[in-house]
Amino acid sequence: MAEYETIRFRQDGPKAYLTFNRPDVLNALNNHLIAEALDAVSRLSADTRVLVLRGAGGKAFAAGADLREMEKRTQWSEIDFGARRLLARKLETAPFPTVAAIDGFALGGGLELALACHLRIASANAVVGLPETRIGILPANGGTARLTRLVGRGRAMRMILLGERIDASEAERFGILDWVVDGDVFDGAVEALAERLSKLAPVSARAVIDTVSRSADMTIDHAIDYEHRWFQICLASAGKKEGVAAFLEKREPQFGPQPESDGF
């Protein structure tokens, strides 16, 4: 296993855990951390069925970009946003569920990575926001695009223009967070969610992720046609055979490994 300076990475069978590990600066995202995170996801085992992102220290998931680096970033160094955009897209297009487990602050680039994940679970002390306007920029790693799709134009406009920080309960009400749990049960809730997701039929999970992700940009007829094509793929999968058999035999299904794909 590779040694990292700014992240921790652990593979536990089908479950993988990537932890941002700069707690002294609230896990601020510098270029080195982004590069190490990309390296870690390139090392995921072929049978990975869920990836959980966390922040070390208990005070932050990630409190945005490292502002010492921000001083040196120019329009030319960030012409395509490079590695940061690639990491977000990998989280968003993974063929298995990706989960942001938010304990404390998820601000700026930290929230943008969480928004790229398929699911978000948070402790009750979580605080989220996109405060980039306070330093004269905008959230440009999918912040405006993903937040708008999630909460609607009005709420996204308000949150981003005013750089609002909102607490966990309001973020759950807005639809930014999928679950909010008390801090004393947060670790257990994250692990229970990872365990449950890791037991899904791989083709079925991939089909749901792909169809839900794409449907918002399609007409209703196109979206239904697209999901039906995935339905046909599921019908031919080992997961469908095992799932139906387990139901009829009144037992828990034992789904096989992730089928070979074109990479992550």
122 and 190 belong to one structural domain: yes
52 and 164 belong to one structural domain: yes
Residue 220's CATH number: 1.10.12
Strand partners, 106: 62, 128
pTM: 0.93
121 and 147 belong to one structural domain: yes
Residue numbers of the domain that contains 159: 7-198
Check pLDDT > 90 for residue 263.
no
Q: What is residue 67's predicted lDDT score, i.e. its pLDDT?
A: 72
Q: 81 lies in a domain?
A: yes
36-70 burial, b if ≥16 CB within 10 A, otherwise e?
bbeebbeebeeebbbbbbbbbbeebbbbbbbeeee
Please give the order of strands across the beta sheet that includes 179-181. Answer: 7-12, 15-20, 50-55, 98-102, 119-123, 179-181
Q: 2 lies in a domain?
A: no
113 and 243 belong to one structural domain: no
Beta strand residue intervals within the chain, DSSP E: 7-12, 15-20, 50-55, 60-63, 98-102, 105-107, 119-123, 127-129, 165-167, 179-181
The mean per-residue pLDDT over the stretch 91-112 comes to: 97
140 and 157 belong to one structural domain: yes
Q: How far apart are CA 167 and CA 92, in angstroms?
A: 24
Check pLDDT > 70 for residue 80.
no
Average pLDDT for the chain: 93
164 and 221 belong to one structural domain: no
Residue 87's CATH number: 3.90.226.10
| Side chain identity at residue 207, one-letter code | A
Check pLDDT > 60 for residue 155.
yes
If pLDDT is split at 50, 70 and 90, which confidence band does 261 have?
Answer: low
Final residue in a domain of this structure, among 198, 232, 257: 198
The mean per-residue pLDDT over the stretch 21-35 comes to: 95
Tokens representing 73 are 């970033």
133 and 163 belong to one structural domain: yes
Kind of pairing, strands 179-181 and 119-123?
parallel
Classified as helix, coil or strand, 202 is helix
Count: domains in the chain: 2
Q: How far apart are CA 114 and CA 208, in angstroms?
A: 19
Q: 127 lies in a domain?
A: yes
Q: How far apart are CA 38 and CA 86, in angstroms?
A: 8
Check pLDDT > 60 for residue 113.
yes
Mind telling me the catalytic residues? 112, 132
115 and 236 belong to one structural domain: no
Check pLDDT > 60 for residue 211.
yes
Per DSSP, 26 falls in state T
Q: What is residue 69's predicted lDDT score, i.e. its pLDDT?
A: 77
Q: Using a pLDDT cut of 90, give the percent of the chain over it.
A: 88
